[in-house]
Amino acid sequence: MIVNLSNKEKDIIIDALSKLDSKQSIALSKKIERSKKQIKPRSAKNKGSSYQKKVCEYISQITNIPLIKGDECLIQSRGMGQQGTDVVLYGKARKLFPYGIECKNCNTISLPLWVKQAKANAIDGKYILFIKSALLEDEIVVMRTKDFLNEMGKQK
- Helix/strand/coil for 114: helix
Alpha carbon distance 14, 65 (integer Å): 54
Is residue 62 domain-resident?
A: yes
Whether 13 and 65 share a structural domain: no
74 falls in which pLDDT band (50, 70, 90)? very high
Q: Which residue has the higher pLDDT, 98 or 48?
A: 98
Is residue 29 located within the same domain as residue 48? no
Task: Classify residue 121: in a domain, yes or no.
Answer: yes
Number of domains in the chain: 2
- 133 assigned to some structural domain: yes
Please name the helix (run of DSSP H) or strand (run of DSSP E) that holds residue 127, with its range, or none: strand 127-133
Asked if residue 105 and residue 66 are part of one domain, the reply reads yes
133 in the same domain as 62: yes
Statement: residue 41 has pLDDT above 60: no
Both 78 and 51 in one domain: the answer is: yes
Give the residue, 44 or 124, on which the prediction is more confident: 124
| Structural domain that includes position 20 | 7-36
Same domain, 76 and 115: yes
When pLDDT is averaged across residues 119-130 and rounded to a whole number, the result is 92
Q: Is the pLDDT of residue 18 over 90?
A: no
